[in-house]
Amino acid sequence: MSAPSTLVDLEKVSVRAGAVRILEDVSLVVSPGDAVGIFGSNGAGKTTLLRLIATLQPYSDGVCSILGVDSSTAARYDVRHQIGYVGHTPGLYRELTLLENLAFVADARGLDSALAAEALGDVGLAGAADRRVDHCSHGMQRRAEFARILMTEPQLLLLDEPHSALDANAVDLVDALVHRTLERGGAAVLVSHDRARVKTLSTRTHEIKDGMLR
């Protein structure tokens, strides 16, 4: 399948939970090379928008095309592996070590498991690879999530509050992740409270308020 010219194409997409409006008539186009920053206060709909782009959030109205496929169809299963999503809660298994967590993803994706150790080394966690997740700080867990992104090299990078709980070195990792994704011809969408930091990374920014994107 050839690379789509538009990685994200939302046309008047709405998301509702019962009577509650979470996103309303959201339109957004993200092309290769774009790094889109989205700002908004708590409850504005930032995380829902990111999950929508990740094909994880069902929607009620509009058209949502992600990586060239209509995300309401089963074709979304074929493109999900090209999406790298880091939410504000780490998706690591706390009983497993950092290395085992990454090796699981590598195995699931059919990647060489040696890449897991390599990626942990790239984010400065080589010495903690065999440490269980429940013995790691939140910042270390975030780094491990970034290592997963490095390992899987997604076409579409989605970061939710990427700079929270990070020290200065790890903040630079976020920048590197975004730049590497763009260099590969991919795109990134970042939602954050940290306007100053995200603005320096973004090629354009939007504001989300009460579920509406401006």
Partner 1 sequence: MSTGFLHQSSTITRRDLLRERRSGEVLWVTLPFGAIALLLVPLAIGTDAPTLQRIGPGMFWVIVMLFGVLIAIRQTNSETTAQRDLVALTGLDPAAIYVGKAFASFLLLLVFEVVLGAVTIALYDVSPSGWLVLPFVLVLAAAGLSLLGTLAAGIVATGQSATALVPLLVAPLSVPLLLGATQALEAIRLGRSSLSWVLLMTIVVLLLAVAGVLSARPLQETA
Which of 59, 8, 57, 54 is closest to 32 using CA atoms?
A: 8
HEC per residue, the chain: CCCCCCCEEEEEEEEEECCEEEEEEEEEEECCCCEEEEECCCCCCHHHHHHHHCCCCCCCEEEEEECCEECCCCCHHHHHHHEEEECCCCCCCCCCEHHHHHHHHHHHHCCCCHHHHHHHHHCCCHHHCCCEHHHCCHHHHHHHHHHHHHHHCCCEEEEECCCCCCCHHHHHHHHHHHHHHHHCCCEEEEEECCHHHHHHHCCEEEEEECCEEC
- Residue 81 engages partner 1 in binding (rule: CB under 8 A): yes
Sign, CA dihedral 89-173-66-62, equals positive
Single out the residue of 1, 17, 19, 74 in contact with partner 1 (rule: CB under 8 A): 74
Pattern 93-132, partner 1, x by CB under 8 A: x-xx---x---xx-xxxxx--------------------x
Q: What is the smallest separation between the CB atom of 143 and partner 1, expressed in angstroms?
A: 16
Piece of the chain touching partner 1 by CB under 8 A; list 21-29, 48-56, 165-173, 203-211: 48-56
Residue (49 or 200) nearer to partner 1, CB: 49
Residue (138 or 209) nearer to partner 1, CB: 138
- Residue 170 engages partner 1 in binding (rule: CB under 8 A): no
Single out the residue of 89, 137, 164, 169 in contact with partner 1 (rule: CB under 8 A): 89
- Residue 75 engages partner 1 in binding (rule: CB under 8 A): no
- Residue 87 engages partner 1 in binding (rule: CB under 8 A): yes
Distance separating the N- and C-terminal Cα atoms of the chain = 33
Q: What is the smallest separation between the CB atom of 105 and partner 1, expressed in angstroms?
A: 6
Q: What is the smallest separation between the CB atom of 108 and partner 1, expressed in angstroms?
A: 4
Piece of the chain touching partner 1 by CB under 8 A; list 17-25, 90-98, 165-173, 188-196: 90-98
Catalog residues that contact partner 1 under the rule CB under 8 A.
51, 54, 56, 58, 74, 77-78, 80-81, 83-85, 87, 89-93, 95-96, 100, 104-105, 107-111, 132
